[in-house]
Structure 1
């Protein structure tokens, strides 16, 4: 047993002693420069700025379709890519946005259609999914939906 331990100890000693080269000498300066450049670029994000964060349609008749356009600009340091735009419900439809990268300083737009459903004060959120630092941004539309004047109102039966 002592011979086995002695043999393993000798092999470990030889293995450690054979690594005479300093690890610091193996570092390639070009790799360091490339990594530093990559890390500097990785901290640059696009920034999406909207011309308005909320649009109020005011008073609209029930079931009346309305539409607005949200304009935005990439004020960041990297190309902006919008991957998806969704609304909080099916009565609001975002459309017509570019899926191509938007370079810093360039502008884009998308439209939002609201079908006028609901009653009284209505608010809908539109979520823009993009490669920004937060990953998503939101804008809102609001309206006051007036009751449909042609809608037949059933009278409430009186209790006796």
Structure 2
């Protein structure tokens, strides 16, 4: 008799808890995602005192606008420009890095891009060789 009584209590409590469960609606996150065509550009051999520019293109593969907040060059010999308006989903933008070739020899310079994505920082590299 005790076994039947406990079985009934167990079944009743299971039925009550099932009625209390309520499924939460799915949460859709707005995520931007920066996809680069390339992160390293080799300018090859460039002439001394002849500034050269590398253009890095990116696409927003996310679901919300992508905003580049800043771009910092690794040295004063490199100047960076970037798309300042928000880049919508499926749209493209760019970062241009101009290197002032004032010294002979091989070079490798970086620009760091900051944007509104979790961990939103990317380092891009331009490299080459300055010749006379």
TM-score (norm 1): 0.61
Aligned-residue RMSD, C-alpha: 2.0
Q: Deviations over 1:107-128 (max 9, x none)?
A: 1123221110333210001111
CA distance in structure 2 between the aligned counterparts of 1:130 and 1:124, rounded to whole angstroms: 20
Q: Deviations over 1:27-56 (max 9, x none)?
A: xx9xx86xx74xx42xx4311111111111
Q: Which has the higher contact order (CA 8 A, sep 6+)?
A: 2
Aligned residues: 110
Where does 1:25-104 land on structure 2 (aligned, <5 Å)? Answer: 37=27, 40-41=28-29, 44-95=30-81, 97-104=82-89
Ranges of 4+ aligned residues in structure 1 off by more than 6 Å: none
In structure 2, the gaps of 5 or more residues are: 1-21
Bigger helix fraction: 1
Contact 1:63-1:117 at 8 Å conserved across structures? yes
In structure 1, the gaps of 5 or more residues are: 1-28, 149-160
TM-score (norm 2): 0.73
SS of the aligned residue for 1:73 comes to: strand
SS of the aligned residue for 1:108 comes to: strand
Bigger strand fraction: 2
